[in-house]
Each structure stands twice: as C-alpha cells, then as structure tokens.
Amino acid sequence: MVYSVKLNTEIPVQVTSKSYYLNGLGNFTRYTVKDNRIPVGYVDLQDTSHGCYVMYIKNQNPTLYKGFGKTADQIEVEHCLKRNIEKPVIASEAKFNTHITHFKRGKRFIDEGINIFLQDLIENMKKGEQYLTGILGAQKMFMPQNLVNKYMEIIKKAPLLK
C-alpha cells in the first residue's frame, strides 16, 4: 500500500520483479511497484548471505504518492522471507539529505553518533522546518530487528510479493 495524494488515502499496489545474476557480484532483484499502469517506484536489492543490501529505492512520482519508503521496507523484509531467512540483516546507505527520512522510518545508522544527532535534531525541529543533512555524507545504516518484526506482522496480513 502507498498513500495516494490525489485520493487522500492508502491504495493497494502491484509488485513485479526481475532477478539477475552478475558473475562474481551475486544475485540482484529489482522490484517495480505500480498503481495499475502508473509507476510508483522501484527497489533494487542485492542478496547477501544473511539478508539483503538495498542498492536503491526510488519514488518515481512523489507528487502523486507518499510513503513509498515504507512499501520499500516491506518489500525488503518480504524478499528475505521468501529466501527462507527468518531474521534478516537488511543494510543500506543513506545518500545526500535522506538521513532524516530514513531515521524517522525506523532505520538506524552504524555510527551511533549520527543516531543521537538526528534524534536531537528531530526533537528540536519546529513544524514545517527542514534540515539539509548532506554534510553527513553517505552513511551506512540497517533495519533494526524490531522494525523487521513489525513488517513481518504486516506481511502475515497483507503480503506484497506473490
């Protein structure tokens, strides 16, 4: 499900995938998310022995759809469950000015100082205020087990992958 700005409500989406193997680099999967024929976004994952590495997520129509990050998070967990990984390790990297968005969604950074900094920043932000976090650079992050568990419960009720 993603949030449709036009309809002002959550709507169901369809997810398709294409997997490929790059010799020496491993297995990769691109999940494409659509609202009927309208592209919503995509998620690129690389398989790891204990889960997956999120190469990239992209909301292709941010003026039409909100909350794609949550959809991407669910796809990441569901991808690992389909590979029979019960306690997946899902890692990724925050790029230029995406740190707060990922942190608010529940992802955490390897560098605990960044987690503390972002928590303090968020707690002291005024409504409507935005901060550019590009100065932090690319930072490695992960999905904590409590967030993985949350998505496992959602998946039991409403899986996205067929």
Summarised one tens digit per residue, pLDDT across range 112-152 is 999 999 999 999 989 888 888 989 999 999 999 999 999 99
Give the rounded distance of the alpha carbon of 7 from its chain centre: 23
State residue 63 phi and psi, 5-degree precision: -80, -20
Asked if 133 and 99 touch (Cβ cutoff 8 Å), the reply is: yes
Amino acid 162: pLDDT:
85
Summarised one tens digit per residue, pLDDT across range 29-84 is 999 999 988 999 999 999 999 999 999 999 999 999 999 999 999 999 999 999 99
Amino acid 129: pLDDT:
86
* 48 contact partners, CB below 8 Å, separation of at least 6: 26, 89, 91
Taken in order 89, 94, 98, 104, the sign of the CA dihedral is positive
Model-level pTM? 0.94
Q: Where are the alpha helices (DSSP H) in 11-144?
A: 68-82, 99-105, 112-124
Summarised one tens digit per residue, pLDDT across range 2-14 is 999 999 999 999 9
Amino acid 37: pLDDT:
86
